[in-house]
Amino acid sequence: MTLAVFALLLLGAVPIALVLALSAAWYIVDSGNTLLFASYPQQLFGAIEHYGLLAIPLFMLAGELMNEGGLTRRLIDLARILVGGFRGGLVYINLVANMMMAAIVGSAASQIAIMSRAMVPAMEQEGYDKPFAAAVTAAGGLMSPIIPPSMLFVLFGVIAQVPIADMFIAGILPGLLMGGLFFIAITAIGLVQQYPRGDWPSRAQARHYLWMGLPAVSIPLIIIGGILSGLATPTESAALASLAALLIGRYVYRDLSFDRLPRILERTAINAGLVIMLIAAAGVFGWVIIYEQLPQMAAAWIAALTTDPFLFLLLVIGVLLLVGMIVDGIAALILVVPILLPIATQQFDITPYQFGVVVSLTLVLGLLTPPVGAGLFIASSMTGVPPLRIFRALLPFLLMSLIALVLLAWQPWLTLALL
């Protein structure tokens, strides 16, 4: 009956946080064990009572400050020095800038929104097909959950009780792999579509872009360098990045005025509040799942299907692709990890780091696939292109993402080599 209530609320377009919280409450009523209501508030607050979760609003704030302070535009200009002169240079600039932004923002949805505003109009002006421009920008957002910092990695580290810094390190090679595969896709498409010829910046322009871009590059260096060196935790690195973005935007680029800070903080608070509320609701729903011993039942079912770790991960990818199409990635992560992680580590000897990278990337694909596809709708609202036209243009990038997933499931060293 609880499953029916969950499905009814979900199909009724009720916000996912309320779906999870109400379904958990219904389970308690339906089971007749109303004493569980005494633990309900404790489970809600217990799910968000973790220091590592402070990194989420701080990374969101860093992204907002970068966008308002002109740092995003300077990163795009810096990418022109690296790839701007290739045929289809603006496509490669889009991808390289997305990789730089992925090392700062940590949220695929936020990155798609920011980069759609910055890149799609510029690509359209140079003669690129608008749905393709929106698709390239949205595909770049897929790297945000695996190139550190990553909101999903923060959550996975909290749930799996593994160091968040180690999760970030485990995502570096997979992020570069994704970027490389996307470059291959762009090159293959360019052979068919004949992109507009790119222009290398002049020596004077290159010096200007480099000089102006160096302060913006310091943000990902602060985040990743602080974590890799052990000088700062992910949460502390996020706070330092936010402070650096504020100072650079205000005093170096002078694009950020203090008058805009209240709006920036308001947007950050609202977006972070939505995420934290979702984590709390998913926590109480996960408590119900564990109370019902669903992990043990799932383990018995999977053990009857295969004993091979690679096949197990392929099964997980297949199931989570379907889950991610319907349920928000953050909620899905909190729901599935308590069930599947013990099976992966205990029965198949899969490390939490490999499992976390595979699960996070699989779930974020749902951001760009119907019927929910929040990332599709974000890109559509920012560009005015219908979601299905963006989805059709996205298919080569989704195929490359699936190839990356298979490689990550097959070769554990891709996630473990730097640890």
List own/partner pairs for 290-296 with CB under 8 A and 24 or more apart.
290/338, 291/36, 294/339, 295/338, 295/339, 295/340, 295/342, 295/343
- What does the pLDDT look like over 40-68, one tens digit per residue? 788 778 777 777 778 888 888 887 888 78
Domains in the chain, number: 1
Task: Report the distance separating Cα 260 and Cα 239, nearest Å.
Answer: 19
Mean residue pLDDT of the chain comes to 82
| Residue 149, token pair as written in the block | 């910092």
Q: 256 with 70: CB under 8 angstroms?
A: yes
Structural domain of residue 106, as residue ranges? 51-416
332: DSSP letter: H
| CB atoms inside a 10 Å sphere around CB 248 | 23
Mention every residue, 6+ apart, whose C-beta is less than 8 A from residue 94: 115, 119, 123, 133, 136, 137, 140
Kindly state the average pLDDT of the residues 158-171: 88
Q: Is residue 301 in a domain?
A: yes
For the packed helices 294-303 and 261-291, what is the interaxial angle rounded to 10 degrees? 70
Mention every residue, 6+ apart, whose C-beta is less than 8 A from residue 192: none
Percent of the chain with pLDDT over 70: 94
Closest by alpha carbon to 353, among 105, 151, 102, 163? 163
Look at residue 230 and give its three-state secondary structure: coil
- The per-residue pLDDT for 238 is 83
Q: Is residue 387 in a domain?
A: yes
Kindly state the average pLDDT of the residues 377-401: 86
More confident position, 198 or 162: 162
More confident position, 112 or 162: 162
Highest mean pLDDT among 197-201, 282-286, 316-320, 354-358: 354-358
| Residue 74, token pair as written in the block | 């300077």
- The per-residue pLDDT for 99 is 82
Q: Categorize the per-residue pLDDT at 352 as very low, low, confident or very high, splitting at 50, 70 and 90.
A: very high
Cα-Cα end-to-end distance for the chain: 45
Q: Categorize the per-residue pLDDT at 177 as very low, low, confident or very high, splitting at 50, 70 and 90.
A: very high
Task: Report the distance separating Cα 254 and Cα 243, nearest Å.
Answer: 15
Q: Categorize the per-residue pLDDT at 2 as very low, low, confident or very high, splitting at 50, 70 and 90.
A: low
- The per-residue pLDDT for 298 is 67
pTM: 0.81
Kindly state the average pLDDT of the residues 110-137: 82
Look at residue 54 and give its three-state secondary structure: helix
Q: Is the pLDDT of residue 140 over 80?
A: yes
Q: Categorize the per-residue pLDDT at 294 as very low, low, confident or very high, splitting at 50, 70 and 90.
A: low
Burial class (CB in 10 A: 0-12, 13-18, 19+), 1: exposed
- The per-residue pLDDT for 279 is 78
Task: Report the distance separating Cα 215 and Cα 237, nearest Å.
Answer: 16
- The per-residue pLDDT for 381 is 77
Q: Is residue 106 in a domain?
A: yes
Mention every residue, 6+ apart, whose C-beta is less than 8 A from residue 81: 201, 206, 209, 210, 213
| Residue 282, token pair as written in the block | 């998913």
Q: Is the pLDDT of residue 1 over 70?
A: no
Closest by alpha carbon to 415, among 347, 343, 345, 351? 351
- The per-residue pLDDT for 354 is 95
| Residue 413, token pair as written in the block | 């060293």
Residue with the two structure tokens 């580290």? 157
| Residue 40, token pair as written in the block | 């309900």
Highest mean pLDDT among 109-113, 124-128, 356-360: 356-360
| Residue 143, token pair as written in the block | 């790297």
Q: Is the pLDDT of residue 139 over 70?
A: yes
350: DSSP letter: -
Mention every residue, 6+ apart, whose C-beta is less than 8 A from residue 243: none
Highest mean pLDDT among 12-16, 260-264, 410-414: 410-414
Percent of the chain with pLDDT over 90: 12
Q: Is residue 35 in a domain?
A: no
Kindly state the average pLDDT of the residues 152-156: 86
Which amino acid, residue 184? I
| Residue 287, token pair as written in the block | 């408590």
Helices (H), 69-202: 71-83, 89-102, 108-125, 130-140, 151-160, 164-170, 172-193
Q: What is the number of residues in the chain?
A: 419
Kindly state the average pLDDT of the residues 375-391: 81
- The per-residue pLDDT for 81 is 84
Closest by alpha carbon to 21, among 354, 323, 282? 282
Q: Is residue 1 in a domain?
A: no
- The per-residue pLDDT for 106 is 66
| Residue 412, token pair as written in the block | 């554990």
Q: Calculate the dihedral angle through the C-alpha atoms of 105, 107, 110, 114, rounding to the nearest 10 degrees.
A: 40
The CA–CA distances, whole Å, from 3 to 24, 241, 286 equal 10, 42, 13
Q: Is the pLDDT of residue 196 over 80?
A: no
Q: Is residue 197 in a domain?
A: yes
- The per-residue pLDDT for 350 is 93
Segment (H or E) for 353: helix 352-365
106: left (phi over 0), alpha (psi -120 to 50) or beta: left
Q: Is residue 375 in a domain?
A: yes
Q: Is residue 19 in a domain?
A: no
Q: 39 with 283: CB under 8 angstroms?
A: no
Task: Report the distance separating Cα 414 and Cα 419, nearest Å.
Answer: 10
- What does the pLDDT look like over 61-98, one tens digit per residue? 887 888 788 887 788 888 888 777 777 778 888 888 88
- The per-residue pLDDT for 100 is 78
